[in-house]
Amino acid sequence: MPCKSDERSAWRCEFPILDQEVNGKPLVYLDSAASSQKPRVVLDTMDFYYRMDNANVHRGVHALGQRSTEAYDNARAVVAKHLNAVHTDEIVFTKGCTEAVNLVAASWGQANLKPGDVVLCSMAEHHANLVPWQLAAEKTGATVKPVPIHDDGQLDWDAYLALLNENPVKMVAIKHVCNTLGTVYPVKEVVSEAHRVGALVTVDGAQAVPHRPVDVQDIGADFYILAGHKAFGPMGVGALYGRLPLLRAMPPYQGGGDMIRTVSFDGTTFREPPNRFEAGTPNVAGVVGLAAALEWLASQDFDRIEVHEQDLLASATEALEEIPGVRVLGKSPGKASVISFVTDFAHPHDIATILDSEGVAVRAGHHCCMPLMGRLRVPATVRASFAMYNDNKDKEVLIQAVAKARRIFS
């Protein structure tokens, strides 16, 4: 079906879901930091898979099984190329970022952490890159310590170095881009300093992959994770990059089919990574959809995307701050296209409800970052997150809707 918004962004026309009305108003989707929408090529790829190739992988010798296995294995190569991994075997498919961190924390963490060891997590960390480390610490006797941030959301570099130098740090867990504030963290430098003291680093790349090229070799990360649904792909699928020597030394995370080499009542032997960490029937359609999303994303002009999103970010931030009673949080230089704000006239949930009545989808809450909310001294924020498919009309509707909320509650 042709896009009805020919005068708007060509990017927008690739996302069928955006061509609809919500509450009688054109949809303005500003919640991509929670879940991005899917381009038509991803929808078509997954539909084709289920209509033509659907079968289990690494099992059947029949034609559908072979085609499904080929598509699944090719998808791993696509992810490896997108992240510039050295080996395809460094890519483990997961249900998403949360499972990927849990895998590392349970497998590497429980095998390597011991009483007295320290795991550092930034104070802005998503719960998915904090809680699994707390669970691992409880089981091993290790301790999880926060790395402070400044008021604008940037990492407190001096505090980070002091924590590294004064503690037996074994793992640093940090996000590449903050899902709440949009802060871009200097992950390459974070990794370099951690390696200096012998610590490893797990980077949560959920919010980075949709907006910028990622090179895990250049960053030097030991583990890097991504989520399909943040990167214009399907929900319920993600990927873990891990340096191959680390993955080979890690015990299985779950047991079941396809991760075993031999099984008997005398004992079981396991396959090499990545299969060792992919027990059971995988989400093949999701994996194929993820590969389609990353191939589509790789075909885009990232420089153009950055200019477009930064223009929207700057003009929306300026316009919001002109509304009396609105306060924008986390205005660090070079941040990604995420705006979190609070008001003195209504709770974030009430603001989001008014915005929804105007067709504007935003997120309101703690954004799975409760320690960050405590640092900012707010219970919640309204978050508007821009993607390539948003445009100035979306921004204008957002500003008008927030102004309407102020009139209502004032």
Q: Which residues are catalytic?
A: 368
Residue that the structure tokens 């090179």 belong to: 215
> Measured between alpha carbons, how far is 329 from 309 in angstroms, rounded to an integer?
18
Secondary-structure percent of the chain, ordered helix, strand, coil, rounded to 5: 45, 20, 40
Contact 339, 383 (CB under 8 A): yes
Sign of CA dihedral 131, 132, 138, 140: negative
What residues form DSSP beta bridges with 384? 339
> Measured between alpha carbons, how far is 196 from 315 in angstroms, rounded to an integer?
41
Burial 79-106 (b: 16+ CB within 10 A, else e): bbebbebeebbbbbbbbbbbbbbbbbbb
- Give me the torsion for CA of 351, 353, 355, 360, rounded to 10°: 130
Q: Could you count the other beta carbons within 10 Å of the beta carbon of residue 21?
A: 9
